[in-house]
Amino acid sequence: MRRIPVSFALVLFPTIAFAEAEKAVEAFIRNTVVPCYKLEGEGRCKLAETAARPTIHYAGDGAMKIALAFVPWQWDLTGNAMDQMLVVFDQRQNGDWKPTGRLDRTYGSNPRDLKFFRDGEKVRIEYVGTVVGRRDNRANPTGSQRFAVEVLPNGQMRATKPHGRSMSEAIRG
C-alpha cells in the first residue's frame, strides 16, 4: 500500500475545494466578447475564439476566497502578440464563483510567485511575470519582473505599469 505524505494531502484538499472555479472561468471565457482585429478589420470576437489556456491561482483567508484567472488572448487574430487578461472571481456563500473584476491587459507572461494582501475591502495582488530581458528577442523572453494589481471594492482594477511598453502595445504603435 502506498503512503501519501501529509504535506501532499494538506495541499491537495484545499485545491479540491476550489476546483469549481474552473467551471466559472470556462463560462466567462465562453460568454465574454472582446475587441479584436481580423483580416476584415477591427471588430468584436468571443474571447473563446482568441484565448489560450488560462492559469488559475487561488487565495483565501476564511472571510475571503478568490480565484485569479490569467487568460492569454490574441487581440490581433492575424498572428501578432498575445495579451493577458486577469479576471478575479469571488466565491459566494452558496459556493458559486462570480467574476468581480477584469483587467484586459496585464504585464509579464507566465505569472508565478503570487502574493495577496488585503487592506479592508481593497486587495493587492503581486506576481512575477516573464518579460523580455536585455539581450532577449521577443519570441524567447527570459527576464522576470514583479508586478502588482489592485482590486478596488467596486471591482475596478489597476495594474502597475513597468518601464517601456508591452509587446502588443509596441506592435500596435
Domain membership of residue 51 (yes or no) is: yes
Instruction: Domain count for the chain, please give it.
Output: 1
**pLDDT tens profile 90-147:** 888 888 999 988 999 888 889 999 988 887 878 888 999 998 888 888 788 889 999 9
Domain membership of residue 101 (yes or no) is: yes
C-alpha cell, 161: 505599469
Domain membership of residue 1 (yes or no) is: no
Beta bridge partners of 72: 84
**Residue ranges making up the domain that contains 31:** 6-172
Query: Structure pTM?
Result: 0.78
Give yes or no for a contact between 149 and 157, defined as CB atoms under 8 angstroms apart.
yes
